Amino acid sequence: MAKKQFKAESKRLLDLMINSIYTNKEIFLREIISNASDAIDKLCYLSLTDDKVGLEREDYRIRITVDKDERTITVSDNGIGMTQDEAEKNLGVIAKSGSYKFKSEMDSDEAEKDDISIIGQFGVGFYSAFMVSDKVTVITRKYGEEKGVRWESTGADGYTVAECDKYNAGTDVIMHIKEDTDEEIYGSYLEIWKLKMLVKKYSDYVRWPIVMDITHQEQQPTGEEDKDGNPKMQTVNVTAPETVNSMVPIWQRSKAEVTDEQCVEWYKETMRDQTDPAVTLRVNAEGTVSYKAMLFVPGKDIDNGMSGATKRSLKLYCNGVLIMENCDKLLHEYFEFVRGVVDSPDLSLNISREVLQHNRQLKVIGQNLEKKIKGELEKMMKDDRPKYETFWKNFGIHIKCGVCDEYGRYTEFLKDLLIFYTSEESQMTLKEYSDNMPESQKAIYYASADTVKHAMSMPQCEEVRSRGYDILYLDHPIDETVLMQLKMFEGKPFVNVLTEDLGFQTDEEKKAAEEKTTENKELLDFVRESVGDEKLKQVTLSSKLVSSSCCLTSSGPFTLEMEKYFRNGPSEEMRQMRADRVLELNANHRAFAAIRDAYDAGDKDRAADMSKILYAQAELIAGLEVEDATAYAELVCKLF
């Protein structure tokens, strides 16, 4: 029989398929099953208006058979079938199918032209059979036709097509599995367990039964009896057809049919998580884009768990056919902890064959779902604050990173989800903080340290608190960056209690303070020189300290907290970064008076020792290590 040639474009795709080093070859089965399912859909639809079809809904099925000796896998359906013309048009040419779109994607992006690794992120249809087969035979008969068609191809060199006998309408796709190579054991696809596993993984929710002959071991009587007169039993292998897919996915069923508890059970089983999810969200959207979604916010941080489950686990389905196991294109990273499934018929036959990044429908679904997730979280925040705090402990960091990501693109969307400590026990949203502000308060105050307790104990906080103002106590290095990103909240600026001018002083007080600083200039310079110019940028008289003698702050945007964070940074340069240190002294404190007395009495050594001690104490209060602990201890002992 003369071979017909594939069109040039098909040939190139076919070449890619055949020579693909792509590791995810297993998707071929999903593709062939999807085609079979579509063909059944078409005939079933036709039967609504054509009673000659003669099949009831329960008569339709997809059958998978294996012949190990012949090394073939056959996927048969009793769907609409193809005429010879259609077989040639559909299988011999990449016409309007997704495969064509796939090819245009490949061609439009020169840089990625040879990057075949993207195959399999989406389906490429019928051609994927050639990833595992060296020959594909299609025997098909179109509904209403007398004769069947036999189409056969061994790959890029073309195909043959001829009339043949076939007793019913439908299609058999016979894949002749390649010989094993060093890299790939193609023969494993001939194992029933493997095929069953692939059906479960990718095609579990195809709505027509997928039937395979499955062999079980059974105990059967041998016909003989033992000495007590009981029938003797033997183990025999029994092979019987079995439907291997579960067909109707839980998320396709209505809320009336499936309780939330059942969804939770499904989550725990499928996602291998023993903890109840914090949020169960079910969406049934109909409109420009229709989809069903069942999403969960885990009850614990899955990354810390030992479950071995991956962080992202958002499965994307199109009509029950798995397109992607971990779809990272649907939700932004700040919601990457959300798990579950999204199923949309509108992704339709095409999406599995399209590059997902550019898919508009997917974007719409993603945006809608994000709004709903945010809504659920806000509801939890309002109705069950302890639960929200647990959620925040587990996943708050994702939201904070989201606020800082992409130059604040998502800040507006996410800012209402933020909560901060205002004491060791309570956390507030920015809105709550703002609503709680006394009239006299002009700014939102924050103090940052390694723990909330430590931040609260900072001497600089004392005055702010004494005025009845709340302080946000930040205990994570990213928190300061989050506030910097926000800049303001409801027109109120964020002020770092530890480093910034709190603006509490009246003009007169300021003037008096300046005069006092000028008066003490010589002594302040002396303190700085005693500690060492290289360590200390400035020594000032503090306007913030009430009962403490001193504190360490910084000037400029690089704070002590950032310095601490960068100390564990990946590069030496980062680890060496230092904030410009400012030692603030309380002019009304005994310690300051003591230095002044020693200095005035001409005992400069003693004044210098005391300066060094104060500096070391300020470092300790700020949560920094004292550089030379032994020297510090000796200095303190000298005072006794």
Of 94-102, 186-194, 309-317, 319-327, which segment contacts ligand ADP by CB under 6 A? 94-102
Return the closest-CA partner of residue 324 out of 298, 297, 299, 359: 359
Q: Mapping DSSP to helix (H, G, I), strand (E, B) and coil, where does residue 340 land?
A: strand
Member of 13, 33, 39, 472 binding ligand ADP (CB under 6 A): 39
Distance between alpha carbon 90 and the CA centroid of its chain, in Å? Answer: 38
Member of 92, 125, 277, 402 binding ligand ADP (CB under 6 A): 125
For the bound state, the minimum distance from the C-beta of residue 198 to ligand ADP, rounded and expressed in Å, comes to 17
Say how far apart CA 143 and CA 79 lie, in whole Å: 8
Identify which of residues 87 and 579 has a Cβ nearer to ligand ADP in the complex. Answer: 87
Identify which of residues 195 and 483 has a Cβ nearer to ligand ADP in the complex. Answer: 195
- Residue 505 · residue 543 · CB < 8 Å: yes
Identify which of residues 85 and 265 has a Cβ nearer to ligand ADP in the complex. Answer: 85
Residue nearest to ligand ADP (CB): 125
Side chain identity at residue 96, one-letter code: K
Member of 83, 121, 171, 319 binding ligand ADP (CB under 6 A): 171
**Residue 103: other Cβ atoms inside 10 A:** 18
Tokens linked to 625 = 């290590």
Member of 60, 64, 77, 592 binding ligand ADP (CB under 6 A): 77
Identify which of residues 93 and 285 has a Cβ nearer to ligand ADP in the complex. Answer: 93
Identify which of residues 26 and 31 has a Cβ nearer to ligand ADP in the complex. Answer: 31
For the bound state, the minimum distance from the C-beta of residue 326 to ligand ADP, rounded and expressed in Å, comes to 23
Return the closest-CA partner of residue 208 out of 199, 219, 196: 199
Query: How does strand 72-77 pair with strand 170-177?
Result: antiparallel
For position 97 contacting ligand ADP by CB under 6 A, the verdict is yes
- Residue 489 · residue 430 · CB < 8 Å: yes
| Helices of type H across 178-309 | 192-203, 260-270
Say how far apart CA 71 and CA 178 lie, in whole Å: 8
Query: How does strand 210-225 pair with strand 62-67?
Result: parallel
For the bound state, the minimum distance from the C-beta of residue 151 to ligand ADP, rounded and expressed in Å, comes to 10
Distance between alpha carbon 25 and the CA centroid of its chain, in Å? Answer: 25
- Residue 203 · residue 321 · CB < 8 Å: yes
Identify which of residues 81 and 298 has a Cβ nearer to ligand ADP in the complex. Answer: 81
For position 120 contacting ligand ADP by CB under 6 A, the verdict is no
Identify which of residues 79 and 320 has a Cβ nearer to ligand ADP in the complex. Answer: 79
Residues near 236 by beta carbon (within 8 Å), at least 6 away in sequence: 217, 218, 220
Side chain identity at residue 10, one-letter code: S
For position 126 contacting ligand ADP by CB under 6 A, the verdict is yes
Of 89-97, 129-137, 548-556, 625-633, which segment contacts ligand ADP by CB under 6 A? 89-97
Tokens linked to 497 = 């209690």
Side chain identity at residue 364, one-letter code: V
Rg (C-alpha) for the chain, rounded Å, is 36
Compute the C-alpha angle 367/372/377, nearest 5°. Answer: 125
**Residue 625: other Cβ atoms inside 10 A:** 11
For position 82 contacting ligand ADP by CB under 6 A, the verdict is yes
Identify which of residues 100 and 489 has a Cβ nearer to ligand ADP in the complex. Answer: 100
- Residue 483 · residue 400 · CB < 8 Å: no
For the bound state, the minimum distance from the C-beta of residue 40 to ligand ADP, rounded and expressed in Å, comes to 8
H/E run at residue 174: strand 170-177
Q: Mapping DSSP to helix (H, G, I), strand (E, B) and coil, where does residue 383 land?
A: helix
Identify which of residues 91 and 614 has a Cβ nearer to ligand ADP in the complex. Answer: 91
For position 336 contacting ligand ADP by CB under 6 A, the verdict is no
Binding residues among 349-368 for ligand ADP as defined by CB under 6 A: 349, 353
**Total residues belonging to the chain:** 640
For position 99 contacting ligand ADP by CB under 6 A, the verdict is yes
Side chain identity at residue 283, one-letter code: V
Tokens linked to 385 = 């604050």
For position 92 contacting ligand ADP by CB under 6 A, the verdict is no
Identify which of residues 126 and 266 has a Cβ nearer to ligand ADP in the complex. Answer: 126
For the bound state, the minimum distance from the C-beta of residue 401 to ligand ADP, rounded and expressed in Å, comes to 38
For position 35 contacting ligand ADP by CB under 6 A, the verdict is yes
For position 36 contacting ligand ADP by CB under 6 A, the verdict is yes
Identify which of residues 91 and 404 has a Cβ nearer to ligand ADP in the complex. Answer: 91
For the bound state, the minimum distance from the C-beta of residue 309 to ligand ADP, rounded and expressed in Å, comes to 32
Residues near 108 by beta carbon (within 8 Å), at least 6 away in sequence: none
Q: Count of residues binding ligand ADP (CB under 6 A)? A: 20
Identify which of residues 349 and 614 has a Cβ nearer to ligand ADP in the complex. Answer: 349
Identify which of residues 39 and 579 has a Cβ nearer to ligand ADP in the complex. Answer: 39
x/- mask, ligand ADP, residues 570-609, rule CB under 6 A, reads ----------------------------------------
Of 73-81, 250-258, 555-563, 571-579, which segment contacts ligand ADP by CB under 6 A? 73-81
For position 129 contacting ligand ADP by CB under 6 A, the verdict is no
Say how far apart CA 567 and CA 564 lie, in whole Å: 5
Q: Where along the sequence are the contacts to ligand ADP (CB under 6 A)?
A: 31, 35-36, 39, 77, 79-82, 90-91, 97-99, 125-127, 171, 349, 353
